[in-house]
Structure 1
Amino acid sequence: MQCDYWDAGVCRSCSLIETPYPVQLARKQADVEALLAPLAPTARWLPPVASAESGFRTKAKMVVAGTVDAPTVGILDAEGRGTDLRRCGLYPPALSATFPILAEFITRASLEPYAVPERRGELKHILVTLAPSGGLLVRFVMRSTEALSRLRKHLPWLIERLPALEVATLNVLPEHKAVTEGDREIVLTPAQTLPMTVNDVTLHLGPRSFFQTNTAVASVLYRQVAEWVDAAAPASLWDLYCGVGGLALHCLAAGRAVTGIEISDAAIDAARRSAAEMADAGVGGADAVTFLAADAVAWAGTQAERPDAVVVNPPRRGLGPDLAGWLENSGARTVVYSSCNPVSLARDLEAMPSYTAREIRLFDMFPHTGHGEVGVVLDRG
């Protein structure tokens, strides 16, 4: 992918951009196989799922810098000053078209960009999510609520310029630290969630809900997980770290009891909403899914009955010794593991020697980088 920002030396985020994409994918596949093959000597490796080379990111995390009258929307340079990336080719046109409008909104609403070197200002990031329908969720990450009244005052102008805007929020991040968002969210629109329809399953994405940045590849991952679960034909399935319910709701089947566990109350509320809509539409198995807000490790350890199959999609740190140990002793016949970090995946597989990897597949969510999502289906040996 040709990139003017890379050519000018102002952005180095896509470290592999000068490598032809087929070569990137082949190397990534080889790296994953070298890491996991010793732990899965008999596994069948399915063909890797390739991404589009450009326009694949449906979530933008843009750092705001500069001044009220001349804001930059992109990243920070080595000195902590803003570098504008509003024409970045990673984003589809419907998403990149929002950046100049949002920059104009910064000026109109007098949102002072946060200056990292001086630790002064208010607006730190703008986070934008694009749904397959074209709907938008926009979050203004600010140091305080100082600009709340101005955000509300000028929001009608923004909605007029961005008719696809469905959800807008103010996220409060008072600390000076290298994180993207804070714990407090103030929703500015009547709608609280953004509908995300993936493979005919409509998920409801809240402002702080996790969702993959590459929706096209994520849809293939969801279908693959559902295929692996259906092949195992479990009567009961647990989805640990279920988020807004994407994997659990793809694995519904008549006669199958599905339980999703996620620590976020908001994510569970969203998952329950999706399940209720599917049940009303007569989707088979939707009336037998239960979503609970709980810590996955603590909840699993207190259950008297064990499931036939378990789906796990943990954060980058992986399952950890406690949950991996519980799975090893759970008696579940099948485990489907989706991992964004092959290193932690390998560590967890070592902690579950009773399971044999049957099939493994790479899903390239992150072209032009060394990162990859890996799915594996494990059967108890």
Structure 2
Amino acid sequence: MPLQKNQLLTLRIERLSSDGSGVAHSADGEAVFVPNTAPGDEARIKIVKDCGRYAFGILDQLLTPSPDRVEVDCPAAGPCGGCSLRHLSYKAELQAKHENVTDAFRRIGGLDVPVLPTVPSPEVDRYRNKVQFPVGRDKNGQPCIGFYAGRTHRIVPCPDCKLQPGVLNEIGNALCAFFAAHGIQPYDEESSKGLVRHIFLRRGAHSGQIMVCLVCTRAKLPHSEELVAHLREQFSAIATILLNVNAKNTNVILGSETHPLYGPGYLEDTLCGVPVRLGPLSFYQVNTLAAEQLYGIAAQYAQLTPDDLLLDLYCGMGTIGLSMVDHCRELVGVEIVPEAIESAKANAARMGDAIATKSRFFCADAGAAATRLAAEGLRPDVIVLDPPRKGCDEATLSAVVKMNPQRVVYVSCNPATAARDAKWLETQGYRTEKVQPVDLFPRTKHCECVIALSKGEIDFKKVRVEFSLEGMDTSGLQKGATYPEIKARVLEQTGLKVSSLYISQVKQKCGLEVRENHHKAKSENTKQPQCPKEKEDAIVEALKHFQMV
């Protein structure tokens, strides 16, 4: 029997859905989704909408609270659309996120893979390095900062958001007081009148530097010089103050036009030791300390060796790849946003000549990257994927398979699309080894995860092979050296860097066997660079040194 709107039911909350709502079932087995509830709650629920196989309800009365409930310490937590899990203990929140990741991989991916316990964030509150305050008016008509109520553009005043560092809240409040004192009007969406739309703030977790960006409807801000002096006097950590212009009737916060009022227009910080410069349009993980945990896990799953080529797809500013660059031979980063590629190149340059020399970044999609690397006779040993929430399209995944890496590390902010993509890769010969949820967004429904995939081949470490040399003629067995040893010899003797491809080409010329791997051309018609004479001579000298020719 269908549930009716406004019908009251007494239900027990069983678990949390992926959007953070509690899930219960009616007597007829219909799923009911109820926000602001916790697993174990017994509550009276009012039905607000029935959709046939499932319904939505609201909490009418909490009858028996779950032992996992905690006191909500933010007055805006209910109406505000931010902290949807603030009523839950952090231990229970981590467990709920683990269950949702596990459910996604089993239900969507059809994969029974190990999902490890969720890695907690080092900081549960005050962890965000970025905040975008919409500016509105409080009940007294004064300018105020806050956040939009869920699924609306109604601003809920919030002078002290628990997710932001206290200093960012203080700057937001100081700006509102300045606006009130100088008659600077907040923007009103209904009337399309007013000047200040948003206060956009960033803070470097390690440097402490702060960026202030005022999003306004026009490029002229009254009393701007006085405002700059006022902020700098109160907050010495401010590195730059900007005016961004957005006059469009849009949900997009930032416009394309930005004017510096003070400082260089960016702040500086580090992530996993990678130096970064952040402007208002830079994409950057909002929880620096947890992101460093995330990237560390990704590096473990990559299992890089000094001879490996690492391809970082969706590389953004290059932070994931550059955090691993010390462990590989070469890093190639690919991103379709030109500004991000320029930032990645600059970040690599700031890490020194040695890193910049072994790092390349270019603007392309995954398919173009595959074609370009193949033309150079290169195949990545490891590919790191860090796509947006929608995941990878099939063309990108097909390009990954074409490049044939031994390992794929998939970093995702959406377990559902990650599970879907892992399922597709499994049909192409890859095996999902394990999944590690990482909490980058405490008190919210969101969770990141890292997935380790490898080629579905025989694990040679587990294969026991026995043979005997008895009766064999061993006089013809060659002495030899590994590719890294040959490269090291060439570098030591000549100062030249040579690729595995060049070594293979010279070995073939010398009549030496080259194994069927990624260093050998797939066909004689494959277009690839040829070893220069100077490097060929150096490689031949190394082969002679190791008594291979």
TM-score surpassing 0.5? yes
Tell me which residue corresponds to 2:446. Answer: 371
Tell me which residue corresponds to 1:26. Answer: 95
Q: C-alpha offsets along residues 285-344 of structure 1, whole Å, 9 cap, x if unaligned?
A: 453011223344544444424311111111111111211221123211111111111111
Tell me which residue corresponds to 1:308. Answer: 381
Tell me which residue corresponds to 1:143. Answer: 217
Q: C-alpha offsets along residues 241-289 of structure 1, whole Å, 9 cap, x if unaligned?
A: 2122210111112651101122333322322222122125x6xx45301
Contact 2:308/2:329 (<8 A) preserved = yes
Q: C-alpha offsets along residues 161-185 of structure 1, whole Å, 9 cap, x if unaligned?
A: 2211112222222222222222333
1:352 match: secondary structure = helix
Contact 2:146/2:156 (<8 A) preserved = yes
Structure 1 residues 69 and 379, CA gap change in structure 2 (3 angstroms): same
Tell me, in whole angstroms, the C-alpha distance in 1 between the residues paired with 2:302 and 2:178.
46
Tell me, in whole angstroms, the C-alpha distance in 1 between the residues paired with 2:83 and 2:164.
13
Where in structure 2 are the equivalents of 1:83-102 lying within 5 Å?
83-102=156-175
Alignment of 1:194 with 2:267, yes or no, is yes
Q: In terms of mean alpha carbon deviation, does 244-253 or 99-108 score higher?
A: 99-108
Where in structure 2 are the equivalents of 1:106-145 lying within 5 Å?
106-107=179-180, 110-132=183-205, 133-145=207-219
Q: C-alpha offsets along residues 14-49 of structure 1, whole Å, 9 cap, x if unaligned?
A: 222212111111011011012114648564433321
Contact 2:133/2:172 (<8 A) preserved = no
Tell me which residue corresponds to 1:14. Answer: 83
1:249 match: secondary structure = helix
Where in structure 2 are the equivalents of 1:336-351 lying within 5 Å?
336-351=409-424
Is there any run of 5+ residues in structure 1 with no aligned partner, and where? none
CA-CA distance at 1:139 after TM superposition: 1.6
2:351 match: secondary structure = helix
Tell me, in whole angstroms, the C-alpha distance in 2 between the residues paired with 1:42 and 1:12.
34
CA-CA distance at 1:90 after TM superposition: 1.3
Contact 2:321/2:333 (<8 A) preserved = yes
Tell me, in whole angstroms, the C-alpha distance in 2 between the residues paired with 1:99 and 1:165.
13
Tell me which residue corresponds to 1:335. Answer: 408
What is the aligned-residue RMSD (CA, Å)? 2.6
Name the structure, 1 or 2, with higher relative contact order (CA <8 Å, separation 6+): 1
Tell me, in whole angstroms, the C-alpha distance in 1 between the residues paired with 2:367 and 2:194.
40
Contact 1:205/1:270 (<8 A) preserved = no
Task: Please tell me the residue identity of whatever aligns with 1:46.
Answer: L
Say which of 181, 184, 188 aligns to 2:254.
181
Alignment of 1:360 with 2:435, yes or no, is yes
Alignment of 1:65 with 2:136, yes or no, is yes
Identical pairs, percent: 30
Tell me, in whole angstroms, the C-alpha distance in 1 between the residues paired with 2:336 and 2:182.
35
Tell me which residue corresponds to 1:271. Answer: 344
Tell me, in whole angstroms, the C-alpha distance in 1 between the residues paired with 2:347 and 2:101.
34
Tell me, in whole angstroms, the C-alpha distance in 1 between the residues paired with 2:308 and 2:434.
21
Q: In terms of mean alpha carbon deviation, does 361-370 or 43-52 score higher?
A: 43-52
Tell me which residue corresponds to 1:291. Answer: 361
Structure 1 residues 279 and 65, CA gap change in structure 2 (3 angstroms): same
CA-CA distance at 1:221 after TM superposition: 0.7
Contact 1:42/1:358 (<8 A) preserved = no
Structure 1 residues 163 and 343, CA gap change in structure 2 (3 angstroms): same
Structure 1 residues 185 and 380, CA gap change in structure 2 (3 angstroms): farther
Structure 1 residues 108 and 210, CA gap change in structure 2 (3 angstroms): farther
Contact 2:101/2:115 (<8 A) preserved = no
Tell me, in whole angstroms, the C-alpha distance in 2 between the residues paired with 1:287 and 1:365.
32
CA-CA distance at 1:145 after TM superposition: 1.5
Tell me, in whole angstroms, the C-alpha distance in 2 between the residues paired with 1:336 and 1:109.
53
| Over 6 Å off, 4+ runs | none
Q: TM-score, normalised by structure 1?
A: 0.89
| Structure possessing the higher radius of gyration over alpha carbons | 2
Task: Please tell me the residue identity of whatever aligns with 1:36.
Answer: F
Task: Please tell me the residue identity of whatever aligns with 2:86.
Answer: I
Structure 1 residues 371 and 70, CA gap change in structure 2 (3 angstroms): same
- Matched length: 376
Task: Please tell me the residue identity of whatever aligns with 1:24.
Answer: E
Structure 1 residues 109 and 274, CA gap change in structure 2 (3 angstroms): farther
2:453 match: secondary structure = strand
Tell me, in whole angstroms, the C-alpha distance in 2 between the residues paired with 1:204 and 1:295.
24
Contact 1:232/1:334 (<8 A) preserved = no
1:212 match: secondary structure = coil
Where in structure 2 are the equivalents of 1:41-52 lying within 5 Å?
41=111, 43-51=113-121, 52=123
Contact 2:333/2:361 (<8 A) preserved = yes
Tell me which residue corresponds to 1:326. Answer: 399
2:425 match: secondary structure = coil
